[in-house]
Amino acid sequence: MAIKGVLFDLDDTLYDSSTFADRARKEAIKMMIDAGLNASERDAYNILQRIIKQKGSNYGRHFDDLVKAIEGQYNPKIITMGIITYHNVKFALLRPYPDTIKTLIELKKMGLKLGVITDGITIKQWEKLIRLGIVDFFDDVVTSEEYGLGKPNIEFYEYALRKINLRAEETVYVGDRVDNDIMPASSIGMHTIRILRGKYRDVKGENCKYEVKNLREIIDIVRSLKEGKE
């Protein structure tokens, strides 16, 4: 069956999310200490990492919990200083991977539909696409918030296919995580390509037919699939 569309994960697949988030968090901690947070940078960072691990990266109150853990009480000045700094630094660093736009252009030239399937808050994920300057490449974007259920639920992937009007077998899905991206998408019959970028880069993955180190490598894979060579 000919390939008609390519769907992408967003964070760590189309841009570097982990590294920049981490740098932004470190800057935020420095400013929070300047504003009165009573902890060393290292201790505050370790506590924050633990909170992110426990609550997930899309939890909205990391800095509230950090301040509560250290100060024993709510301190809106220190929390707000953290939030402002985190966002300022993250937006300052936000950019697509060097090969993201070139790859999207090539795929559009092939006449393919493109889409994004992403876990997260709808407005936040759209904001990233707009600020990254890549929003106009995508025919549709689906978020876990809009569907009410996120990765790795296969219902979420099936919803995305219905919304963008593609069948699984005519679709290539590109993501960085084995558990959340590759396994569910493969299980419903999508062609999958794993990109080895971001913090899950070194996680071992079985059953992964295609693994690439750069986005531009997917162009040849998609072309082969499209022409029915594989």
| Interacting residues toward a copy of itself by CB under 8 A | 76-77, 79-81, 83-84, 122-123, 126-127, 130-131, 135, 141, 143, 146
Q: Shortest gap between Cβ of 127 and a copy of itself (angstroms)? A: 5
Q: Which string of b and e fits 2-16 if b means at least 16 CB within 10 Å?
A: ebbbbbbbbbbbbbb
Whether 134 contacts 96, CB under 8 Å? yes
Q: Shortest gap between Cβ of 198 and a copy of itself (angstroms)? A: 23
| Residue found under tokens 């929390």 | 79
Residue 153's nearest CA partner among 203, 196, 190, 188 is 188
Q: Shortest gap between Cβ of 15 and a copy of itself (angstroms)? A: 16
Nearer to a copy of itself, 2 or 123 (CB): 123
Nearer to a copy of itself, 17 or 143 (CB): 143
Nearer to a copy of itself, 30 or 223 (CB): 30
Nearer to a copy of itself, 100 or 125 (CB): 125
Instruction: Give 11's strand partners.
Output: 15
Q: Shortest gap between Cβ of 130 and a copy of itself (angstroms)? A: 6
Nearer to a copy of itself, 30 or 216 (CB): 30
Q: Shortest gap between Cβ of 79 and a copy of itself (angstroms)? A: 7
Query: Alpha helices, DSSP H only, in the chain?
Result: 18-34, 41-55, 62-71, 76-93, 100-109, 122-132, 144-147, 154-164, 183-187, 217-226
Nearer to a copy of itself, 118 or 192 (CB): 118
Q: Shortest gap between Cβ of 28 and a copy of itself (angstroms)? A: 13
Q: What are phi and psi of 6, to 5 degrees?
A: -125, 125
Q: How many CB atoms lie within 10 A of CB 72?
A: 9
Distance CA 225, CA 168 (A): 13
